């Protein structure tokens, strides 16, 4: 019999290195099976062909996964010029081919400057965005095409890592909602040859990096052996960059009952703990009133 002494009582983030050929939903299902915990979710879908960092929220971590989803992400992406596909990646059907032999490293590098900072980006049809309750990729598979509006995204860093004509490898650090496939498409259009994203590795999501990640098979063995605390990040890790407050017994009691407490904190989200170091949840600070109001109250052990 496998060891499941704490079945249903796991809480934290498992940082999975998603392999190619499986969906993000497949990984969530695997973690549910391994932990026996029904409350499991992920922070940011990775396409089946993509690999890299996929944080999986388990138990109480599902209370904070929304904050992690708001975090920036970084990628190492490969852009192949001269070929355009309907999905903007290697899984799609080729719809156009152009000569890209004239492109140089200098030309591509110069064009990247136009994609740094705040930009407008049209999402791909082959995406999980829902319109009228249906994901766009379902409509795309049925041959539908919907004119999508451009959305604001921020490219914090964009660097050419290597160039081997007609393929560029780029590093991208970007805001939530950015599609690297669409970025590859737009760069290809800008240089006049078209392009598609031929490979993608997610290097980081928020505080979690590829160096933090585990293979699913390794996680299963380690969790069975009782090493949960060694492989999982605490549920509060999604708010690693937010300030923390510590409440005395009286304020902790108020907090657990959903009441605000007095505390001098910056505006915005704060992590909340009691004097024993127990995590009590997430609050919203208001410097004007000197109060912190509960947003997420944790009452479970």
Q: Which two tokens stand for residue 133?
A: 């309750």
The DSSP call for residue 9 is -
Q: At what angle do helices 105-112 and 180-191 cross, to 10 degrees?
A: 120
47 catalytic per annotation: yes
Give the C-alpha separation, 43 to 238, whole Å.
10
Catalytic site residue from 47, 186, 236, 251:
47
Residues 6 or more apart in contact with residue 39 via CB below 8 angstroms: 57, 58, 59, 60, 62
Enumerate the H helices of the chain as residue ranges: 24-35, 65-69, 105-112, 136-141, 180-191, 216-224, 228-231, 249-256
Residues 6 or more apart in contact with residue 299 via CB below 8 angstroms: 256
**Active-site residue set:** 47
């Amino acid at each position: 019999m496998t060891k499941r002494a704490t079945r249903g009582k796991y809480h934290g983030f498992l940082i999975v290195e998603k392999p190619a050929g499986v969906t993000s939903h497949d990984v969530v299902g695997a973690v549910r099976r391994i932990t026996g915990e029904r409350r499991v979710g992920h922070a940011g879908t990775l396409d089946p062909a993509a690999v890299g960092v996929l944080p999986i929220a388990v138990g109480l971590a599902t209370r904070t996964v929304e904050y992690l989803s708001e975090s920036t992400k970084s990628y190492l992406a490969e852009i192949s010029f001269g070929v355009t596909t309907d999905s903007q990646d290697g899984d799609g059907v080729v719809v156009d081919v152009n000569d890209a032999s004239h492109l140089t490293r200098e030309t591509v590098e110069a064009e990247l400057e136009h994609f740094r900072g705040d930009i407008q980006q049209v999402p791909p049809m082959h995406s999980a965005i829902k319109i009228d309750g249906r994901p766009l990729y379902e409509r795309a598979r049925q041959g539908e095409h919907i004119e999508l509006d451009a959305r604001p995204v921020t490219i914090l860093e964009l660097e050419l890592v290597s160039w081997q004509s007609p393929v560029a490898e780029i590093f991208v650090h970007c805001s939530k909602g950015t599609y690297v496939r669409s970025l590859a498409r737009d760069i290809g259009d800008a240089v006049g040859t078209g392009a598609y994203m031929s490979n993608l590795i997610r290097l980081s999501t928020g505080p979690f990096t590829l160096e933090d990640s585990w293979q699913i098979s390794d996680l299963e063995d380690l969790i069975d052996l009782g090493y949960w605390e060694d492989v999982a990040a605490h549920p509060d890790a999604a708010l690693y960059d937010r300030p923390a407050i510590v409440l005395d017994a009286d304020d902790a009691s108020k907090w657990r009952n959903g009441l605000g407490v007095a505390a001098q904190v910056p505006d915005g989200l704060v992590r909340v703990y009691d004097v024993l170091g127990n995590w009590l949840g997430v609050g919203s600070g208001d410097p004007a009133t000197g109060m912190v109001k509960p947003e997420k109250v944790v009452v479970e052990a």
